[in-house]
Chain A
Amino acid sequence: MPKLNTFDVTIKTGERGPGAAPKWSINGFVVDFEQMKGSTAPGETFQGTASPGSFPHTLLIRGPESGAWDIEETRVTYYPSGEQPYTVRLGAVTLDDDADLNIWYERPQKVFDV
């Protein structure tokens, strides 16, 4: 498991969205994003940066305080310590006030035909 220095997230909201800036959590601790742009209002796109500087066991986008949040797409670019960055693109999902989105995906291991 690599140390995760920072990650960037881009979240495209569908029909329902809280509008407020989302939060992220690492290993159970909820943290605000930095360098935020856009919003989570319906049809809008949110961008944020986070600086874990640590080894995530769980890395989540916190669900909305109330109501539902239709996420059309989530794109996360990870910047691990001493390694090249990599990106994962996640499909549609709906969060609510007791559901968080898992965004921790380790880099796929190199696979090649031999």
Chain B
Amino acid sequence: MPSWFTKVFKGGAGAAKPREAKPSLDEIMGGIDTSEDPEPVAPVQVEKKRRIINAPVVEFVGESAEPAADVRIKARIDSNSGSCVMLIDRPVLEGHSAWFSNAKSAAESPLAQALFAIDGVVSVLLHGYTITVTRHPAMHGDWTELAREIGNTVRAHMIEEKPVVTDAFLEGLPSQDAIEQKLQRVIEIEINPSIAAHSGAIALDRVEGNTVYIQMMGGCQGCAASDVTLRQGIYEAFRSAVPQIGAILDNTDHSAGKNPFYTQMPAGMR
């Protein structure tokens, strides 16, 4: 069965019509009597801008619902990044976020230390109502057992009301302004020049506490590889410049991307 690509670019049966063919200027002018008009103006066809409607999702076959526990924790597996997001029914860390790449870096977080004690846990991100745990890449298959162990550890920690991070951790965080300045420099000098070849660019949207929000633009907006760019490029560059930053969140509306992979830099970004 031919794909849409074959149809669009090779003109198969039922070939796609990206847009109606516009008449040439000669065709347009051929139908206009210009004998009495010294400066005729050719009409210009402008394609109507279209809106995208989102219908309410009535049913998603594949979702599951199970009963709650005392401290309600749900685990959501992100197979793309090899991580598990624990959704807690209460805030884990308010006003800030915390990211730990190994047990040594988690010295100021009793909760993260407890999670690193579980075999296979390689990184921990505490943010809002969530805890994101990444497991060792060599661990494949079902997350269920590891997720339950993580859930039990988090639940026990919360029931016993142990601190999530120490006061020293919070006192050691740089100011928002300092974070913004350093990241802005990384974006301008390191990141944007490297993704300009793909007509992409990123901008620092805002910093809240030590949580960073970014916007992806141009070829990055809507690009299938944007998640990889984020995880492998931007995360590393940001954390290398400011090790104390917590969550890095992509605020981009990727469904509104106009030209992912497009080779020409959009106006205003040159």
Q: Count residues of A near B (Cβ-Cβ below 8 Å).
A: 48
B55 near A91: Cβ-Cβ < 8 Å: yes
CB contacts (< 8 Å) of A89 on chain B: these are: 57-61
Given contacts A30-B17, A113-B66, A114-B147, A57 and B57 within 8 Å (CB-CB): no
Residues of chain A contacted by B224 (CB below 8 angstroms): 1, 55, 57
Instruction: Contact check, A111 vs B4: say whether CB atoms are below 8 A apart.
Output: no
**Contact in complex: A111, B74 (CB < 8 Å):** yes
User: Interface residues of B toward A: which range?
Assistant: 35 or more
Q: What string of 1s and 0s marks CB contacts (under 8 Å) between B1-31 and chain A?
A: 1111101100000101111000000000000
Is there contact, CB below 8 Å, between B61 and A53? no
CB distance from A34 to the nearest CB of B (A): 7
Which A71-108 residues have C-beta < 8 A from chain B?
71, 73-74, 86-93, 95, 97-102, 104-105, 107-108
CB-contact partner of A88 in B17, B61, B75, under 8 A:
B61
Once A1-B224, A108-B62 are accepted as A-B contacts, the answer to whether A54 and B57 lie under 8 Å apart by CB is no
A41 contacts chain B at the CB level, 8 A cutoff: no
Residue of A nearest to B85 (CB): A109
- Asked if B67 is at the interface of the complex by the 8 Å CB criterion, the answer is yes
B63 within 8 A of A: yes
B49 CB contacts on chain A under 8 angstroms = 98
B86 lies within 8 A of chain A by Cβ: yes
Contact in complex: B75, A112 (CB < 8 Å):
yes
Q: Are B53 and A99 in contact (CB under 8 A)?
A: yes
Q: Give the contacting residue for B58; candidates A34, A90, A95, A107; CB below 8 A.
A: A90
B73 CB–A CB distance under 8 Å: yes
A interface SS class: strand
Chain B, 66-78, contact with A by CB distance < 8 Å: what is the 0/1 string?
A: 1111001111111
Inter-chain contacts of B18 with A (CB < 8 A): 28-30
Neighbouring B residues of A108 by C-beta, 8 Å: 60, 62-63
B7 near A31: Cβ-Cβ < 8 Å: yes
* Shortest distance from the beta carbon of A106 to any chain B beta carbon, whole Å: 10
Q: Which of B5, B8, B56, B69 contacts A113 (CB 8 A)?
A: B69
A59 to chain B, nearest CB (A): 10
Residue pair A54, B5 in contact (C-beta under 8 Å): yes
Interface presence of B229 (CB below 8 A)? no
Listed by A's residue number, 12 A-B pairs whose Cβ atoms lie within 8 Å are A27-B260, A30-B18, A30-B19, A32-B7, A34-B1, A53-B4, A57-B223, A86-B60, A89-B61, A90-B55, A91-B55, A91-B58
A interface, CB within 8 angstroms of B:
1, 6, 26-32, 34, 50-55, 57-58, 60, 63, 71, 73-74, 86-93, 95, 97-102, 104-105, 107-114
Give the A-binding residues of B (Cβ under 8 A).
Answer: 1-5, 7-8, 14, 16-19, 48-64, 66-69, 72-79, 86-87, 144, 147-148, 150-152, 222-224, 227, 254-255, 257, 260
**Chain A to chain B: the 5 pairs with minimum beta-carbon distance, closest first:** A114-B151, A53-B3, A90-B55, A91-B56, A93-B55
Q: What 18 additional pairs, Cβ within 8 angstroms, besides A101-B55, A102-B255?
A: A29-B8, A31-B14, A34-B1, A57-B222, A60-B52, A63-B50, A88-B59, A90-B55, A90-B58, A93-B56, A100-B50, A100-B52, A102-B53, A102-B54, A102-B55, A108-B63, A112-B64, A114-B147
